[in-house]
Amino acid sequence: MASSNGTRWRLSCDTCEASAWVGPAPVDAYDVWCEACQNAMRLEAPPVAGVRCVRCGAALPERSPRFVELWGELQNLDAVLGAWAGDASALVTLLPERPRFLTDLNPPASRDDDPAARRDVLEALTRGDWRAVLKAAPDGDARALSAHAIACERLGQSDAALAAWNAVLACGEDARARLARGALLARAGRFGDAASDLALAGDRFEARWNHAACRLHAAVLAGDGLPEPSELSRARAEAGEPSSYWSDPTVGRLVWSLLVERSLAPERGQRRDLAPGETIAERTRETLRAAEAEFEHTTFWDRSMIVAGWSRLGALDEAARVGAPLARELSTTLLGEPALSGPALLEVAAALATARSAMDLGDPVEARRAIAPALAREELRRFRIPCAACGRGTVGIEETAEAAGE
Ligand SMILES: [Zn+2]
Ligand SMILES: [Zn+2]
């Protein structure tokens, strides 16, 4: 049996006796729980897309319980509606803070012939006791110096970390120290010095990414349009295959962020959202439209970055162009959630239908107002739904277990 089939979930009400298992059951069977009518049933195989509840006709969740996602989906929709309407703050809070320059702060390994004091320092670093590392007596060994540098970085002491990496490199060539020092120099805007270090930092992803990121930062700072196509393709070659994982950096994501920041703070080097009524220059608009095409992926996170950027720049027509279809898709997904077709969450389904009508009329403010009570519901916030059996309690995941026989 595939290992992905192995998880079982027990659902239960916090007020009455209602409970059910979801997941593989002994001997070619599968326990499911209809999130609409809240009845348990046993099937011969895990439900696939389109399989419906024999009691109420609602779609059955495939494998894992879906209702735990409801609040997160509502939160995403609310944030996109906000940005579409000109207030990107909720969406900006949801978007991941992707590191611009990557480093490696893993503790160095100790060796059997290390003196006790050095082993203590390396163990303190592994435990995360940064202050103990910094208090230790000086030790000229490259790993002890690396430990010192790492502790400084963990405590946010960049200058001291830079000095410590200098000391590590004075002992001899060290690819990790090159990577770490290169990342610190790049964060300080010293892209040329950073590139010299990164050239000696090996072929690992972090080193290649930092190269690409230095190139893109320098190009965006130097110009007033999109970086030259040759610079973009060099950065792509350095960064390698772009990851679609939501919080990983990619060339397209970084270029977009840098261009939005540059547009918000021309010359001044500090971020500033536009005042109401202020609009961006046509040149900025053209550049950012071109930058949209540089995104490698079309995930929720990528499209949300674009909506948030336009919204922060006060270009609400552009925010609507990207945000309206995204909000409609999110609402379609939500309205298709099995839990919303049951009696327990009728109010939420009705609110979403109202919101959807407002979206279709181009009114994100009204749509957001319609879903506000749903978003404020305490049980959804705790990843639970009202219990249909008692009408008073709420149902949530009580435990997660591995099925027997795996
Ligand atoms: Zn109950
Ligand atoms: Zn049902």
Give the Å distance between the CA of 391 and the centre of ligand 1: 6
Give the Å distance between the CA of 12 and the centre of ligand 1: 8
183 lies in a domain?
Answer: yes
Do 56 and 121 belong together in one domain?
no
With a cut of 50, say whether residue 3 has pLDDT above it. no
Do 140 and 80 belong together in one domain?
no
With a cut of 90, say whether residue 235 has pLDDT above it. yes
Q: Which residue has the higher pLDDT, 239 or 270?
A: 239
Last residue of a domain, one of 171, 202, 233: 202
Task: Quote the percentage of the chain above a pLDDT of 70.
Answer: 95
Res. 250 pLDDT band, cuts 50 70 90: very high
Count how many domains the chain has. 3
Give the Å distance between the CA of 38 and the centre of ligand 2: 6
pLDDT at res. 293: 97
Q: Which residue has the higher pLDDT, 267 or 63?
A: 63
DSSP bridge partners of 9: 22, 400
pLDDT at res. 279: 65
Structure tokens at 370: 């319609």
Note whether 149 and 165 are within 8 A (CB): yes
Do 118 and 176 belong together in one domain?
yes
pLDDT at res. 218: 93
125 lies in a domain?
Answer: yes
Do 56 and 84 belong together in one domain?
no
Arithmetic mean of pLDDT over the chain: 92
Task: Quote the percentage of the chain above a pLDDT of 90.
Answer: 83
Do 114 and 178 belong together in one domain?
yes
Mean pLDDT of 282-306: 95
Mean pLDDT of 137-162: 95
Do 132 and 187 belong together in one domain?
yes
Last residue of a domain, one of 177, 202, 227: 202
Find the ligand nearest to 339 CA.
2
Res. 403 pLDDT band, cuts 50 70 90: confident
Do 16 and 84 belong together in one domain?
no
Task: Output Rg (C-alpha) for the chain, integer angstroms.
Answer: 26
- Domain residues for the domain of 196 are 102-202
Do 323 and 393 belong together in one domain?
no
pLDDT at res. 270: 43
How many CA atoms, within 13 angstroms, populate the side-chain half-sphere of residue 250? 21
* CA-CA-CA-CA torsion sign (218, 221, 223, 229): positive
Do 338 and 396 belong together in one domain?
no
Do 36 and 74 belong together in one domain?
no
Note whether 90 and 78 are within 8 A (CB): yes
Find the ligand nearest to 37 CA.
2
Do 191 and 128 belong together in one domain?
yes
Give the Å distance between the CA of 381 and the centre of ligand 2: 23
312 lies in a domain?
Answer: no
Do 42 and 109 belong together in one domain?
no
**348: CB partners within 8 A, 6+ apart:** 70, 340, 374, 377, 380
321 lies in a domain?
Answer: yes
How many CA atoms, within 13 angstroms, populate the side-chain half-sphere of residue 38? 23
Domain at 192, CATH number: 1.25.40
pLDDT at res. 268: 46
Res. 45 pLDDT band, cuts 50 70 90: confident
326 lies in a domain?
Answer: yes
Res. 275 pLDDT band, cuts 50 70 90: low
CA distance 395 to 9: 12
How many Cβ atoms sit within 10 Å of the Cβ of residue 167? 17
Give the Å distance between the CA of 35 and the centre of ligand 2: 7
pLDDT at res. 266: 58
328 lies in a domain?
Answer: yes
CA distance 39 to 33: 6
